[in-house]
Amino acid sequence: MRTLDELDVEGKRVLVRVDFNVPLDADSGRITDDTRIRAALGTLVELREKGARLLLAAHLGRPKGREDKLSLRPAADRLSELLGAEVVLADSLDDVPDGDVVMLENVRFEAGETGNDSWLARRYAELADVYVNDAFGAAHRAHASTEAVAHLLPSAAGRLLEREVATLRRILEAPERPLVAVVGGAKVTDKIGVLEAFLQRADRILIGGAMCFPFFKAQGHGVGASLCEDEGLEPARRVLAAGGEKLRLPTDLLAGRELSAQTETRALDGVAVPDGWMGLDIGRRTAAGFAEVIGDAGTVFWNGPMGAFELEPFAAGTRTVAVAVAESDAVTVVGGGDSAAALAAFGLADRVSHLSTGGGASLELIEGKTLPGVEALA
């Protein structure tokens, strides 16, 4: 993968694909978490110091045509504050000003973007001299601004993309041992590729979150009203059969009557969930055991919460895991998404070795899949 060290950018306009797909407050339209914008600053500052003029491309949400609520105006304004330089937002590809820092409007407003349209890629390429992809969170998509355009200009990875790929590949190829994978979230089917990859590489696999319940059901336990995808049963059986002693499931749970902060709760000394109850967090005994395994690790990869952490009655399991990861002396890598949100909620985001900006991309890389936005830079 080519890097910035291989590009001559002095006096040139550089098209930089960044990941500014940031959360916005539904009422005010203000950015509620600017982590992804901050993560791009290293590359943007370096390019400007080398004499480049910047043309930024990014997406926000999944618009169907042009939607004002998904304009990149908030991102442009926030980047202006962080860079200490005016960021001009170009409303149309037909009218792109020749400024020092210009941002194209949401590329997903363009009809051919998600279809990796070659004509649209040529339009992007005509606006710049060089291309840099620093949007790891979009690198698993073959879109016009992430894949097709990379073949039309001298191109390379930005520092964020370079660091993300190197860190995640190191987990697969040369981790400090023991390698502990902590995998949570809602669905086994979303994470089966990751689980199968870690069955080959990890020393311990800790499973939490609602994705536990297909495993429990496959073992013959009642799951009550818990979220349990039937299509996850067969993958769960495969992982159970292959996992042996390296696989560790919860041994106790915290249940609630419904998914609400005000619901009645019940600590279960076991994993069988009674009818009318939902398993919404791992139990204290499980959380303590997971923390002990994490504390002895050489490398930790964590993706997915241990329960409904956004509701305080069910946050304890995820909080215990997050604190254990933050306090570990291991190389700690958190794979974006809800895990990153949990670290931020608990004030621990700056206490891990690497916090990925791309949940889906990080999982696909761990699974061994090809990321089109990365392969285009080879």
For the chain, 378 residues long, give each residue's pLDDT as a single digit of tens: 999 999 999 999 999 999 999 999 989 999 998 989 999 999 999 999 999 999 999 999 999 999 999 999 999 999 999 999 999 999 999 999 999 999 999 999 999 999 999 999 999 999 999 999 999 999 999 999 999 999 999 999 999 999 999 999 999 899 999 999 999 999 999 999 999 999 999 999 999 999 999 999 999 999 999 999 999 999 999 999 999 999 999 999 999 999 999 999 999 999 999 999 999 999 999 999 999 999 999 999 999 999 999 999 999 999 999 999 999 999 999 987 789 889 989 999 999 999 998 888 999 999 989 999 999 999
Q: 144 near 121, Cβ under 8 Å?
A: yes
Residue 168 lies in a domain: no
Out of 161, 196, 230, pick the residue that ends a domain: 161
Angle at 268 between CA 264 and CA 273, to 5 degrees: 85
Residue 304 to residue 302: CA distance in whole angstroms:
7
Is 339 found in the same domain as 191? yes
Catalytic residue among 187, 217, 248, 319: 187
What is the structure's pLDDT at 202?
Answer: 97
Catalytic residue among 222, 295, 298, 360: 360
Residue 225 lies in a domain: yes
Q: Which CATH number covers residue 48?
A: 3.40.50.1260
What is the structure's pLDDT at 359?
Answer: 83
Catalytic residue among 232, 335, 337, 358: 337
Residue 377 lies in a domain: no
What is the structure's pLDDT at 358?
Answer: 87
The boundaries of the domain holding residue 259 are 175-367
Catalytic residue among 13, 36, 53, 217: 36
What is the structure's pLDDT at 336?
Answer: 73
How many domains, in total, are found in the chain?
2
Residue 170 lies in a domain: no
Residue 166 lies in a domain: no
Is 185 found in the same domain as 136? no
Q: Tell me if residue 369 is catalytic.
A: no
DSSP class of 302: E
Q: Tell me if residue 187 is catalytic.
A: yes
Q: Tell me if residue 244 is catalytic.
A: no
